[in-house]
Structures are given as structure tokens and as C-alpha cells.
Chain A
Amino acid sequence: KQEVTQIPAALSVPEGENLVLNCSFTDSAIYNLQWFRQDPGKGLTSLLLIQSSQREQTSGRLNASLDKSSGRSTLYIAASQPGDSATYLCAVRSNSGGYQKVTFGIGTKLQVIP
């Protein structure tokens, strides 16, 4: 059964700092990994999707990497801003026993202090 872990659970940084969020998964047979942000009381907004055959994806100040063999992904946020404050979730889509399942981590709650 796929398990997804995100470290740290919470992070507080001063504005302007570069930071890294981590996601690890137990079964490397994945289709893709997707990073989301969730604002309090709101839905999920997709940030980046990395296919299993890719090593990284970039969008603006965000860069996500994937090392499938070691079961790890990182989300790098450059020059953090207070508007980046949110919970960041990673989700892994995989084939588990013939079922096309999606497994989420619990998330990293980020606070960027002005």
C-alpha cells in the first residue's frame, strides 16, 4: 500500500528566504506526483505535476524535483513571500493492485513572516 510522508509538518520562515519542502513515498511504481497548495477553508490549487519519467518541473518561483528510485520529491520555493503562506500537499498517483489510486501526504503548513 502506498504511503506518503511530508516533512516538516510545519515551517515558519522570514520573507525572502528560499525553502524546501519534502515528500517521500513508499512505492516507486507511480504515474505522477502532484504538488498542491491549500488555503484555510479553501479547496486545492494545483502547483506542479511531475510525470514518472521526468526529473523536475518549474513554474515561476517554484521548482519540483522527483527521484522515483529513492521515493522522494522536493518542492523548492525561491524568495518566499507572505502570500505563499498555506498548506502544501503532495499527491502520488499509482497503480496499487490493479487500482488507479491517489495517495496524499498530510501536508506542510508554511508561514512566511513579513
Chain B
Amino acid sequence: EAQVTQNPRYLITVTGKKLTVTCSQNMNHEYMSWYRQDPGLGLRQIYYSMNVEVTDKGDVPEGYKVSRKEKRNFPLILESPSPNQTSLYFCASSLGPGSTDTQYFGPGTRLTVL
């Protein structure tokens, strides 16, 4: 089954404790992206990747890191999480960044930083 998976689905952590949220897709997609969703602000793009070893900042990259060492995986790293990073996070992928390329979303990761 074609899908985007994220782990963990729920995470409660404390300020400053490094964490990684994994994202994996099995559709051989080149384009992957991370979003956060906050009430009243909608979904905002954090980082995206056009292909292996190619990443770029989205609209809200501060406090986050990403890497793309393999085509299927695109982990999101919070080196020193803070309470303002409490949010619902989504990973998405598409075949490419082109006009015909539908984005497929993972189920989301709800992160709480205390």
C-alpha cells in the first residue's frame, strides 16, 4: 500500500531534550516536506527536499533541522525543543515539485514540549 508513515504519532517531551520525528514513504517520491499545523495559523511549511541531499527552508524553519540521506526517509530534528514548538506535525511527499504532482500526507505527529 502506497503510504507516508511517521513516528512517533504522539510525543511529550521537555524543553531542551533533542528529538527526531521520522518520516518514510514507499512511493519513490523525490519531493518531501514537513509542515506544522497550529490553530488559527493553518499548515506552514518548515522544510522541503527536492531529492537526496537537497533540502531548502520553508516559511518557518527556525529551531528545526532535516536531512535527506535516502530517498525514502526525511527525518525532522529538533535539537533543543521549546514550548513554542508544541504543534501537530505532518510529513508529505510527491513525485516531484511539478504541476501534476499530488502531495500525499502522513497521519501526523502530535508533539507537546513542556
Binding site for B on A (CB under 8 A): 31-32, 34, 36, 42-46, 49, 51-53, 89, 91, 93, 99-107
Contacts and interface: CB of A to CB of B under 8 A. Distances in A.
Interface of B: 31, 33, 35, 40-45, 48, 50, 56-59, 90, 92, 97-108
A100 B50 contact: yes
A44 B90 contact: yes
Given A91-B43, A106-B42, 7 more contacts: A34-B103, A42-B108, A44-B105, A46-B102, A101-B45, A101-B59, A103-B59
A53 B35 CA distance: 27
B99 A101 contact: no
Given A43-B105, A44-B105, A106-B41, A53 B99 contact: yes
12 contacts: A31-B98, A31-B99, A32-B99, A42-B107, A51-B99, A91-B103, A93-B99, A100-B50, A100-B97, A101-B48, A104-B42, A104-B44
A93 B95 CA distance: 14
A45 B90 CA distance: 12
A100 B48 contact: yes
Contacts of A101: 45, 48, 58-59
Contact of B104 (A46, A89, A104): A46
A52 B100 CA distance: 9
Which of B45, B50, B98, B99 has the most chain A CB atoms inside 10 A of its CB? Answer: B99
